[in-house]
Amino acid sequence: MTKAEAQLIVDAIVVWENGQNEEGIEAGCIDACPLCSKYFYSMCAECPVARYTGELNCNGTPHPFQFGRDEDIRMIQIIAFGLKMLDDAGYEIVEE
């Protein structure tokens, strides 16, 4: 994972923590998620999430489109997933 990819994951975690960005997460992942904004039109092939899970379109993750879950629990799971990706790649997670 490159530093730029790690930064995109951090940026995505911030969006997930806030539940939205200036567009609103309801606008869809392409507009709301920094990772999707960069990698969606390449069919997710270069996305670090896709490389991590081995699946496209955020399959294999606690993605918000997995309906039927409590929204708060789902967001916590997504944030934890992103942090685990960074930890597994050897990035130290430091609280500010």
> For the chain, what are the domain ranges?
3-88
Q: Which tokens in the block code for residue 66?
A: 């997995």
Contact 15, 31 (CB under 8 A): no
Q: DSSP alpha helices (H): ranges in the chain?
A: 3-18, 29-32, 34-39, 48-53, 71-88
pLDDT tens digit sequence for 22-61: 444 554 567 778 888 899 888 888 899 899 889 888 888 8
- Length reported for the chain: 96
Query: What is the chain's mean pLDDT, rounded?
Result: 76
Determine the 3-state secondary structure of 25 from DSSP.
Answer: helix
Q: Supply angle C-alpha 20, 49, 80, rounded to 5.
A: 60
**Mean pLDDT along residues 59-76:** 65
Closest CA to 77 of 60, 57, 62, 55: 62
The count of other CB atoms within 10 Å of the CB of residue 43 is: 11
